[in-house]
Amino acid sequence: MELTKLTIRQAHEGLKNKEFTSVDLTKAYLENIKKLNAELNVYLSVDEEGVSVQAEAADKTIATGKFGLLCGIPCAIKDAIMVEGQKCTSASKILENYVAPYDATVIKKLKEQGVVILGKANLDEFAMGGSGENSAYGVTKNPCDKTRVAGGSSSGSAASVAAEMACFSLGSDTGGSIRLPSSFCGVTGLKPTYGSVSRYGLIAFGSSLDQIGPIAKTVEDAKIVFEAICGKDKMDATSTDYEFENSVTNLKGLRIGVPKEYFVEGIDKDVEKIIRASIKKAEDAGAEIIEISLPSVEFALACYYIIAPCEASANLARFDGIKYGLSAEGKDLLDVYLKSKGHGFGAEVKRRIMIGTYALSSGYYDAYYKKAQEVRQFIKQDFAKAFEKVDLIFCPVSPVPAIKIGEKTDDPLSMYLMDIYTVSVNLAGLPGLSLPVGKVGNLPVGLQIIGNHFQENKILSVAAQLEEKF
Ligand code: GLN
């Protein structure tokens, strides 16, 4: 039996029936990591000793016969999420030697379940990017085609699952960072409703947009992990009391909205064909397909690329060379700031800080930030109106499959365009899932399923029925 091929559910059954132990399962994943990490660059750190301790502890719990679905299951964690005592770099030089002083709430919850944390996964620096190429520690290669990017910003999280270097992983999504790499790597990723999962212990990028979510081999696995991490947390005031309801939504009679604005020029013809074919499958299974209009999403990218950098510029002000991480020598305080930030941050992060600071500066605030917040309201209203008529929205995750490494690094604007279908979901605070539904050559393509606030159950139920058809 190839242990690294098992889903969470299958691995749980195997552990329960004593076919293997968590130590065996963990070893199998560690072997894959040893074999593949040098080439794929999925993990930034793996604490082998700590990993064995966790697996042995899980086996003890399993031996008592009382254990949950995640006990003993090995996972990868995006290196923007804090795991106590482990380095947390956010793929930045400025946090190269930073060790997390506490567990993020999601980690606390996973540890309570007895998971085995294999290591910290690569990402775009401070989660800013769509390709993984902005990591200060090198790009993560796509396991499906090593000349291509894994997608970003949760590049290592998605690639770890696709390459069987973790059974599941956690990523974070500010403007597409769970869904886009999941689509590029052919795995299932869920960006939950804003507020359903605590952000405490996640290194903040855009606080009104960020959400942590699962990346997994199957829809059921994503659901298992989501259930384990969601809910109110007193350490995050934006988290809400949310009990995941495990219900079934039938495809028959389901009203699926397809936004006409999403199939316009610029979308790769093969991607469009695959997405349309997957919508047809839902229709054949009895769903009603309804064309909808989201007129304001045309402005979503412009709106996101004001709001996200503004929030980032405020959030990243704390990395000043004094409190955290890298601290450069300087002749006075200003010099320390300039050198620490100058050496510590990469080009994309600097670009965002400058755009954000500029857009928030007095005189420009009304023209940019305030305007963007107004547009955000229109986008929210578009979705609210759409959800009066439909139960779920189907659309692509990305207009293109995984791009070649280096293809867009000199052209940030064309890189931002890859986020065209994902950012509006964050601006509206909605849940969205990427489901692998086909391939262009060997490159996976994800269907995006968007639901109304807190309707993860509908998304997951429908995705699970569709998953069987691919
Ligand atoms: N690609 C988007 C950006 O660079 C989204 C990133 C994210 O979701 N963290 O901002």
Please give the residue that has the higher pLDDT: either 47 or 127: 127
pLDDT for residue 470 is more than 90: no
**pLDDT at residue 323 in the model:** 84
Atom of ligand 1 nearest to the CA of 176: 8
pLDDT for residue 85 is more than 90: yes
> Of the listed 90, 92, 153, 198, which one is catalytic?
153
Q: Which residues contact 216 (CB under 8 A, 6 or more apart)?
A: 7, 8, 161, 167, 168, 169, 187, 188, 189, 222, 224, 225
| Alpha carbon of 399 to ligand 1 centroid (Å) | 15
Q: Is 130 in the pocket of ligand 1 (CB under 6 A)?
A: yes
- Tell me the whole-structure pTM to 2 decimals: 0.98
Atom of ligand 1 nearest to the CA of 174: 8
Q: Is 419 in the pocket of ligand 1 (CB under 6 A)?
A: yes
Atom of ligand 1 nearest to the CA of 209: 8
| Alpha carbon of 19 to ligand 1 centroid (Å) | 41
Kindly report which listed range (119-133, 251-265, 380-394, 453-467) carries the lowest average pLDDT score. Answer: 251-265
List the residue whose alpha carbon is closest to atom 5 of ligand 1. Answer: 175
List the residue whose alpha carbon is closest to atom 4 of ligand 1. Answer: 129
Q: Indicate the top mutation candidate among 154, 174, 313, 448 to test ligand 1's pocket, ranked by most ligand atoms within 8 A of CB.
A: 174
Angle at which helix 300-315 crosses helix 371-389, to 10 degrees, equals: 120
Q: How confident is the model at residue 234 (pLDDT cuts 50, 70, 90)?
A: very high
Under 8 Å between Cβ of 121 and 148: no
**pLDDT at residue 243 in the model:** 86
Which residue intervals of 320-370 are DSSP H helices? 333-344, 347-360
Q: Is 175 in the pocket of ligand 1 (CB under 6 A)?
A: yes
| Total count of domains within the chain | 1
pLDDT for residue 305 is more than 80: yes
| Sheet of strand 116-121, all strands in order from the earlier edge strand to the far edge | 43-46, 116-121, 74-78, 168-173, 211-216, 188-191, 432-440, 443-451, 392-396, 255-259, 288-292
Q: Is 129 in the pocket of ligand 1 (CB under 6 A)?
A: yes
Nearest-angstrom CA–CA distance, 42 and 161: 10
Percent pLDDT > 70 in the chain is 100
Q: Indicate the top mutation candidate among 133, 207, 417, 419 to test ligand 1's pocket, ranked by most ligand atoms within 8 A of CB.
A: 419
For 322-359, the pLDDT digits (tens) are 888 889 999 999 999 999 999 999 999 999 999 999 99
For 413-441, the pLDDT digits (tens) are 989 999 999 999 999 999 999 999 999 99
**pLDDT at residue 405 in the model:** 98
Under 8 Å between Cβ of 256 and 392: yes
For 220-233, the pLDDT digits (tens) are 999 999 999 999 99
**pLDDT at residue 460 in the model:** 98
**pLDDT at residue 373 in the model:** 97
For 15-40, the pLDDT digits (tens) are 999 999 999 999 999 999 999 999 99
Identify which of 40, 454, 431 has the alpha carbon closest to the alpha carbon of residue 231. 454
Nearest-angstrom CA–CA distance, 211 and 81: 11
Q: Which residues contact 120 (CB under 8 A, 6 or more apart)?
A: 43, 44, 45, 76, 77, 78, 79, 83, 86, 87, 88, 89, 156
**pLDDT at residue 21 in the model:** 98
Beta strands in 420-462 (DSSP E): 432-440, 443-451
| Alpha carbon of 398 to ligand 1 centroid (Å) | 13
Q: Catalytic residue at 78?
A: yes
Q: Catalytic residue at 208?
A: no
**pLDDT at residue 273 in the model:** 97
**pLDDT at residue 2 in the model:** 95
Q: Is 205 in the pocket of ligand 1 (CB under 6 A)?
A: yes
Residue with tokens 């980690």: 107
| Alpha carbon of 435 to ligand 1 centroid (Å) | 19
First-last CA distance in the chain: 24
pLDDT for residue 318 is more than 80: yes
Q: Is 132 in the pocket of ligand 1 (CB under 6 A)?
A: no
Joined tokens for residue 150:
């894994």
Nearest-angstrom CA–CA distance, 153 and 157: 9
Question: 443 is in which domain, residue-wise?
Answer: 1-470
Q: Catalytic residue at 323?
A: no
Q: Which domain CATH number covers 9?
A: 3.90.1300.10
| Alpha carbon of 177 to ligand 1 centroid (Å) | 5
pLDDT for residue 265 is more than 90: no
Q: Is 94 in the pocket of ligand 1 (CB under 6 A)?
A: no
**pLDDT at residue 76 in the model:** 98
**pLDDT at residue 325 in the model:** 83
